[in-house]
């Protein structure tokens, strides 16, 4: 009986992992379609598409899925959805500000899902501008820590025009002005530096430090939002001590 129970638990965990992977793949495919539609199907002439494809490959999206997404986005193949970008602002427990970016083919569904998820998890929608004023757009390049030495990477990134290089666990985050993102990425590639992703992001100007209980509540809300099919990116202005962050990691 215990063996059956253990197997059932293992199957459930695998199903959850597979579901997460499926949702991630769908989001990455959407990014590729949009990039191809707005900038053309040639990644060499479309940096946004180039980086979207790299990110998808790094996440193990099958090559055939990527190729079909480019074709749908460029109109070479039928079946592409008419996605539009919608941005919602809101608050999580503890007064944490949230910016939720959606790519959707159904505006009403996206709005209802985001509003309901916020409400069920102790959050709420906010007026446009009431949260976004505390964020600024930056370019961010994620480099695996095992592929570069920090001092060497910092020197190369700074020479290319990067603003900062930050250690973040098993990776480095290189921050640039949005207009310098592609230049810095190309310079690092020319130096043989591998990277996981290169894209614009919203970085908070001020952060709220949370204790463990509040961080768990915010995490649950962000996870629930991230599970929505229409949600592409979520930005939040919270931070926590190393001990709290480690406990959150242990919870998973």
CB 181 within 8 A of CB 200: yes
In the chain, what percentage of residues exceed pLDDT 70?
92
**Two domains, one topology: 84-133+206-251 and 135-204:** yes
Looking at the DSSP bridge assignments, the partners of residue 137 are: 202
pLDDT for 127 beyond 90: yes
- 93 half-sphere exposure, CB direction, 13 A CA radius: 18
**Where does the pLDDT of residue 87 fall: very low under 50, low under 70, confident under 90, or very high at 90 and above?**
very high
Measured distance CA(141)–CA(89) in Å, rounded: 25
**Which segment of 12-16, 208-212, 234-238 scores lowest on mean pLDDT?**
12-16
Within 13 A of 23's CA, how many CA atoms are on the CB side? 16
Give the CA radius of gyration of the chain: 19
Strand order in the sheet with 197-204: 164-168, 171-176, 135-144, 197-204
Can you give the pLDDT at residue 15? Answer: 45
Supply the pLDDT for residue 18.
57
Q: Give residue-wise pLDDT tens across range 5-52.
A: 333 333 343 444 556 777 889 999 999 999 999 999 999 999 999 999
- Contact yes or no for 188/143 (Cβ under 8 A): yes
CATH number of 135-204: 3.30.70.980
- Asked whether the beta carbons of 100 and 88 are under 8 A apart, the reply is yes
Fold of 6-74: Arc Repressor Mutant, subunit A (1.10.10)
84-133+206-251: CATH number: 3.30.70.980
Backbone angles phi, psi at 199, to 5 degrees: -160, 165
pTM for the complete prediction?
Answer: 0.85
- Average of per-residue pLDDT values in the chain: 89
Mean pLDDT score, 209-231 = 93
Contact 134, 205 (CB under 8 A): yes
Residue 101 tokens, joined: 């970016």
The rounded distance, in Å, linking the Cα atoms of 130 and 116 is 20
82: Cβ–Cβ under 8 A, 6 or more apart, which residues?
A: 105
Average pLDDT over residues 94-120: 95
Instruction: Name the residue ranges covered by the structural domains of the chain.
Output: 6-74, 84-133+206-251, 135-204
pLDDT tens, residue by residue, 154-207: 999 999 999 999 988 889 999 999 999 999 999 999 999 999 999 999 999 999
């Amino acid at each position: 009986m215990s063996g059956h129970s253990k197997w059932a638990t293992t199957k459930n965990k695998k199903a959850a992992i597979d579901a997460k992977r499926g949702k991630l793949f769908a989001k990455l495919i959407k990014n590729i379609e949009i990039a191809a539609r707005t900038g053309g199907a040639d990644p060499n002439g479309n940096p946004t598409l180039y980086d979207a494809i790299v990110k998808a490959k790094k996440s193990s999206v099958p090559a055939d899925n990527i190729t079909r997404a480019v074709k749908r986005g460029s109109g070479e193949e039928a079946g592409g959805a008419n996605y539009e970008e919608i941005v919602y602002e809101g608050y999580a427990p503890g007064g944490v500000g949230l910016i939720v970016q959606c790519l959707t083919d159904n505006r009403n569904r996206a709005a209802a899902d985001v509003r309901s998820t916020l409400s069920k998890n102790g959050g709420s929608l906010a007026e446009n501008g009431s949260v976004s004023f505390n964020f600024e757009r930056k370019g961010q390049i994620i480099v695996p820590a095992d592929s570069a030495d920090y001092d060497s990477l910092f020197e190369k990134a700074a020479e290319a025009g990067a603003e900062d290089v930050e250690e973040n666990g098993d990776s480095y985050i290189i921050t640039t002005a949005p207009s310098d993102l592609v230049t810095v990425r190309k310079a690092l590639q020319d130096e043989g530096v591998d990277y996981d992703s290169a894209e614009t992001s919203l970085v908070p100007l001020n952060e709220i430090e949370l204790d463990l209980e509040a961080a768990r509540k915010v995490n649950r809300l962000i996870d629930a939002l991230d599970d929505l099919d229409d949600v592409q990116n979520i930005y939040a202005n919270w931070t926590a001590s190393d001990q709290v962050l480690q406990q959150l990691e242990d919870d998973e």
